[in-house]
Amino acid sequence: MKPATFDYVAPRTVAEAVEALGDPGREAQVLAGGQSLILEMHLQRSRPELVVDINRIPELDRMSVEDGELRVGALIRHAAFEAADAVPGPLGTLLSRAVVNIAHPPIRSRGTMAGSFGWAHPASEWCAVGVALDATVEVTGPEGPRALAARDYFLGPYRTARGPRELITAVRMPLLGEHTGVGFIEHRRTHFCFAQVAVAAALTVHDGVIGDARIGLVNSADRPVRARAAERTLLGAEFGPLPAGRRLPDTHPFARAGRVAAQEDAVPVAEPYADVAYKRQAVAVLVGRTLREAATDLRARLAAPEGDHR
Ligand SMILES: Cc1cc2nc3c(=O)[nH]c(=O)nc-3n(C[C@H](O)[C@H](O)[C@H](O)COP(=O)(O)OP(=O)(O)OC[C@H]3O[C@@H](n4cnc5c(N)ncnc54)[C@H](O)[C@@H]3O)c2cc1C
């Protein structure tokens, strides 16, 4: 199919983009990487009257570290995070482990992190990482700029708290401290499918005890989920040696957290190849494995020579 007829503008500044989006008489869509929007337009599931192409706005093509946070401008492509040292510390490791699960290289070279937040697909890796880390979505519209917490931003599949005339200018994520280990594991049918379930985790340990745990669930509900009930079971747990063998004993805190995430945090939606029971089982197993990966990452980080904490 071909897209329905639409008008096209390519503003050079954020102010011009906001002005174009601000016309209440026309349904407008922002074009960033186009890796979701163009497909939807071809299928005519999306029929914007106006496409606002933001690719010629240099101020959106910037990534920086400010006040302990990574600020990712709206034109930063997925591929920018593939190298683990693109972003400092454990956050860089987490982003690099997550990004390789997004589609394949041509899509990663065009698609943007902010576009994933704009699209708000329940299987988006970035959106679950954002919810787990308490990311902030910066938007600006006719009423001016505002900052939305990721926990309040996602309202359901493709539905967010962003207004239809607001542009995402950046996504901010906290840099994670040296005593934090990270993991990301995804389960999907074939290499290029969206995740059936995936898990992002960050564990922070002080004096041999887990002081903070962050777990984000991908495609385990109608929106990205922070597994708070599972996180609570980990707080204060001893950060002991990991058991030998691939399978965690049922009594291990990571296995227990997995079961709690599956039963109390996940609200799975059935898909053709994954019913609700299957997804709950996948959440239970993947949460345990991802926490284990985070613990292994932290051990390696703590054992690394001073100044080499990647
Ligand atoms: C074959 C295939 C496989 C894929 N697999 C995955 C996957 O495994 N995981 C995954 O997460 N994604 C996947 N995607 C989607 C891809 O990651 C997209 O890049 C992403 O969803 C959107 O980014 P984009 O920059 O391409 O946005 P676009 O396609 O340009 O826009 C998507 C939507 O977000 C809105 N939008 C974009 N930027 C902004 C902004 N700055 N402000 C306001 N609204 C904005 C647009 O208006 C539109 O509604 C896949 C896509 C394809 C085609």
> Can you tell me the mean pLDDT for 53-75?
97
- 28 alpha carbon to ligand 1 midpoint, in Å? 16
Q: What is the predicted pLDDT for the residue at 306? A: 63
pLDDT digits (tens, 9 = 90+) for 228-255: 999 999 999 999 888 888 889 999 999 9
Query: Around Cβ 62, how many Cβ atoms within 10 Å?
Result: 13
Query: Of all residues in the chain, what percent carry a pLDDT higher than 90?
Result: 89
Tell me: the pLDDT tens digits for 182-233?
A: 999 999 988 878 999 999 999 999 999 999 999 999 999 999 999 999 999 9
Which of 29, 37, 82, 158 for mutating ligand 1's site (highest number of atoms within 8 Å of CB)? Answer: 37
What is the residue-wise DSSP string for 37-66?
HHHHHHTTS---SEEEE-TT-GGGS-EEEE
- Helix, strand or coil, per DSSP, at residue 196: coil
- Tokens encoding 260: 């709690």
How far, in Å, CA of 246 to CA of 288, rounded?
11
Ligand 1 pocket check for 186: Cβ under 6 Å? no
Q: Are strands 136-141 and 167-174 parallel, antiparallel or unpaired?
A: antiparallel
Domains of the chain, start order: 7-53 (3.30.43.10), 59-174 (3.30.465.10), 180-301 (3.30.390.50)
Q: Of ligand 1's atoms, which has the minimum distance to the CA of residue 195?
A: 8
Atom 49 of ligand 1, residue of closest alpha carbon? 119
